[in-house]
């Protein structure tokens, strides 16, 4: 049986990682991983009334194939540097999706 890195492992059902968000970037996309292991994400939405944060959560949920409600900002909601918590994905799944990310 092949190992599916996105399969939920009940013993490690969530993962945390850092994100550097760039609002008003013209389009929504993950832009890679920095040398420090931080995920770089660009969104078209401005950093007004939580619009950029909402767009960030949608991008991450889509890329990780989890419901939007499984992705939360647990620190840094008002800054560009954020700490994200994702339920239902193992650290290995995130590392497989974005090599070099620090989880």
Q: What is the pLDDT of residues 50-79, one digit of tens each?
A: 999 999 999 999 999 999 999 999 999 999
Q: Quick one: average pLDDT of 43-52?
A: 96
Report the share of the chain in percent with pLDDT over 70: 88
Give residue 2's pLDDT: 47
List the chain domain ranges. 10-97
| CA separation for the pair 59, 65 (Å, rounded) | 10
pLDDT, greater one: 40 or 6: 40
Which two structure tokens, joined as six digits, stand for 94?
A: 């995130």
Give residue 13's pLDDT: 78
Question: May I ask the CATH class of domain 10-97?
Answer: alpha beta
Task: Look at the block and give the residue holding tokens 């339920």.
Answer: 87
Q: Within the chain, what is the greatest distance between any pair of CA atoms? A: 47
Q: Quick one: average pLDDT of 5-23?
A: 76
């Amino acid at each position: 049986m092949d190992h599916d890195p996105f399969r939920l492992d009940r013993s490690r059902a969530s993962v945390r990682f850092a994100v550097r968000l760039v609002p008003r970037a013209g389009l929504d996309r993950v832009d890679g991983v920095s040398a420090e292991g931080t995920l770089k994400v660009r969104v078209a939405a401005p950093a007004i009334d939580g619009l950029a944060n909402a767009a960030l959560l949608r991008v991450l949920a889509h890329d990780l194939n989890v419901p939007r409600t499984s992705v939360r900002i647990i620190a840094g909601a008002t800054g560009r540097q954020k700490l994200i918590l994702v339920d239902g994905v193992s650290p290995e799944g995130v590392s497989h999706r974005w090599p070099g990310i620090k989880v």
